[in-house]
A = this chain, B = another copy of it.
Amino acid sequence: MTVELTDLLAPLEPELEAMRSVLARELESDDPAVAAMLEHLSRFRGKQLRATLLLLMGRASGNEHPELPEVAAIVEMIHLATLVHDDVLDGAEVRRQLPSVNLEWDNQNAVLLGDWLYARAFSLSTRLSSPLASQVLAEVTSRICVGEIRQAQGRYAFEATVERYEEVATAKTGVLYGAAAELGVRFGRSEADVLGAEMRALGEELGLAFQIADDLLDLEGEESVVGKSVGTDVDDGKVTLPVLLAWRSADLTTREGIEAAYRAPGVPDRRAALFAACDLGPGLTQARARADELIASARGRLSLLPDTDSRQALESVLEFTLERRN
């Protein structure tokens, strides 16, 4: 993260620390086999942006519910479960500079560990004083799965619309950010209201922008910097936004070149083949512009919150999405 963002998040450190303690407490098992995988997972610790968003939303809206760190931990556990399953589905071998669970153990263990993480997340949510987290997160999890299924069944679908891309990416990535933002504002406090709905919309925009940034990194990033396998979208037949935009504005020959690069059998670097087949520049630029637009819209919604340091930190979180390099 940028120095500026780290400074802005410093006041949040006690809540983040509380959230990390909950995670450490919940991600334990008496069973040595499970414990070994959890130990490995604990080294994956990422940016914890969803938890940060939730806790900042609590602060910025004056929600001081003492269980917010638990709710934030549950969101991170669900995210972790999706990562573990995603790596199985994508056959990814590197995650945050470490071997993925499916590589270090195998697909069986990784599927089961993901199931366990989901179950633990739900189990924790049922122990809270309000049912809102259980309700929102169970619903969101089923939407994530539908997004993933649509993505899995839409491989090599170059003729897809941008609208469909955004629907799938919102389901896959956006809704969990949306839930985090909404729960920060509403947990233990209010019925559904305008502020909750607006913050959910902000979270979904942030999540979609984050997914587009992920698409860009998979095409432009280097594994040593990004910390996970790159070029996997091409290998997996995922038609990401930059590629979709490039394909849509390409002539027939170039389109065939793009498709051939995606499907090239036995090519060790399909991503390079893709860049050779087509000038991806305009697609990358347009995708970046769309992410900018989403973040601008999200920023507009922040005006519903009082002008505080926490709101300023939320602005920086939004900015960070556009600048991320990993």
Contact = CB atoms under 8 A, between A and B. Distances in A.
A141 B107 CA distance: 19
Interface in A109-139: 109, 111-116, 118-120, 122-123, 125-127, 131, 134-135, 138-139
B85 A149 contact: no
A138 B112 contact: no
Contact of A141 (B85, B109, B122): B122
A20 to B, nearest CB: 21
Contacts of A119: 118, 138-139, 141-142, 144-145
Secondary structure type dominating chain A contacts: helix
Contacts of A120: 138, 142
B149 A31 contact: yes
A1 to B, nearest CB: 30
Contacts of A134: 122, 126, 134
A115 B138 contact: no
Interface in A130-176: 131, 134-135, 138-139, 141-142, 144-146, 148-150, 152-153
B89 A149 contact: no
Interface in A25-61: 29, 31, 33-34, 37
Nearest to A106: B152
Contacts of A135: 123, 126-127
A149 B88 contact: no
A253 interface: no
Given A112-B145, A115-B145, A146-B116, A33 B123 contact: no
A115 B121 CA distance: 13
Contacts of A148: 112, 115
A104 to B, nearest CB: 13
A210 B7 CA distance: 58
B31 A109 contact: no
Contact of A89 (B112, B131, B139, B146): B112
A303 interface: no
A149 B118 contact: no
Contacts of A139: 119, 123
Given A118-B118, A126-B134, A127-B135, 17 more contacts: A31-B149, A31-B150, A85-B111, A89-B112, A108-B152, A109-B149, A109-B152, A111-B111, A112-B145, A115-B118, A115-B148, A116-B145, A118-B119, A119-B138, A119-B139, A119-B141, A134-B134
12 contacts: A34-B149, A89-B108, A107-B107, A109-B152, A111-B111, A113-B149, A114-B115, A119-B139, A122-B134, A123-B139, A126-B135, A134-B134
